[in-house]
Structure 1
Amino acid sequence: MMHRVARVDHAISAALVLPEPGERPVPGAALADELGLSYPYLMTIIDPLKRAGLARVRRGPQGGLSLARRPDEITLADVIWAVDAPLPIDQAFPASRNREAERLPRLWAIAHEAVFAVFAQVALAEMRRPDDQVG
């Protein structure tokens, strides 16, 4: 089974509810409350999304958080990559001590790439549609 990271789930959840560019930004504290997260933790998730060009943070009385691009231009893979970029194969899977398991790191890499490819096909806009319209 593939390892799921809570941070990735939280980042996707945040991206799914962030307002689109041009819409009124949501206050960070309100978003944190809506997602059941602490504000400091939410901002550790928003920061890499901002660095990746996926989210905007506007300061001041009219400030808040929003998407930096339209939801049809952002894939789930973009969000995942921003908050949990995979390690290079040699760091993620140290060399095996037994010959029989030597190919295991490469198999894990192939599996990871296949899963990631699925997320690269799904835009935030698709996830925002009602269940009967997804797919």
Structure 2
Amino acid sequence: MRFSLKARYAIYGVFDLAYNAGKDPIQSRRVSERQGIPVRYMEQIFQQLRRAGLVASKRGPGGGYVLARPAEEILLRDVIEAVEGPLNLAPEIEGEGQEMSRRPDFLWPELTARFSSTLAETTLARLCREAYRIEMPRDDSDAPMYFI
């Protein structure tokens, strides 16, 4: 199983906002540069995240994006579902009749629940703590680290 590019970019985007947070909003262009994401695509993703209540935007000079909630309250599951919809690991059902009754399709709901639970236990703050622990460079080293 792999996350879609959009889901990965959404995680990278909110992580960047949390890890590089300071007193001012961060422009999507800066996030795009640091994360290697096309600017237009990052902006589209931030719009979806804004509609989901995960990020907030400020227009005008000094504008950009900030987290709408503390990093400790933002779950990876929320980020992924904001851009992809509800998690569902079940494959598209093909076939009919007897062959369908011989497939272990009862497995998919359980796997989806377990995977969703793991993502619900992983906060953005946890990612930031790990990045700090491994000394991942930050854009603004004097920014307050409210997530630790």
Cα contact 1:93–1:105 (8 A) shared by 2:
no
Give the alignment's TM-score, normalised by structure 2. Answer: 0.75
Give the alignment's TM-score, normalised by structure 1. Answer: 0.82
Structure 1 residue ranges, 4+ long, deviating more than 6 angstroms after superposition:
87-90
Cα contact 1:25–1:65 (8 A) shared by 2:
yes
CA 1:129–1:63: 2 relative to 1, 3 Å: same
CA 1:88–1:35: 2 relative to 1, 3 Å: closer
Higher helix share: 1
CA distance in 2, matches of 1:36, 1:24: 22
1:45-73 CA distance string (max 9 Å, x none): 11111011001121100200111101001
Shift of 1:80: 0.9
Which residue pairs with 2:62 in the alignment?
62
Aligned pairs, number: 131
Cα contact 1:19–1:25 (8 A) shared by 2:
no
Cα contact 1:72–1:126 (8 A) shared by 2:
yes
SS state at 1:94 partner: coil
Which residue pairs with 1:38 in the alignment?
38
Please, which runs of 5 or more residues in structure 1 have no aligned partner?
none
Cα contact 1:76–1:122 (8 A) shared by 2:
yes
Shift of 1:79: 0.5
Which residue pairs with 2:7 in the alignment?
8
Please, which runs of 5 or more residues in structure 2 have no aligned partner?
135-148
Amino acid of the structure 2 residue aligned with 1:11 = A
SS state at 1:66 partner: strand
Cα contact 1:19–1:26 (8 A) shared by 2:
no
Q: Alpha carbon RMSD of aligned pairs, Å?
A: 2.7
CA distance in 1, matches of 2:83, 2:124: 16
SS state at 1:18 partner: helix
1:15-35 CA distance string (max 9 Å, x none): 111148883111111111111
Cα contact 2:81–2:87 (8 A) shared by 1:
no
Which residue pairs with 1:76 in the alignment?
76
Amino acid of the structure 2 residue aligned with 1:6 = L
Cα contact 2:18–2:71 (8 A) shared by 1:
no
Percent of aligned pairs sharing the same letter? 31
Asked whether 1:122 is paired with 2:111, we answer: no
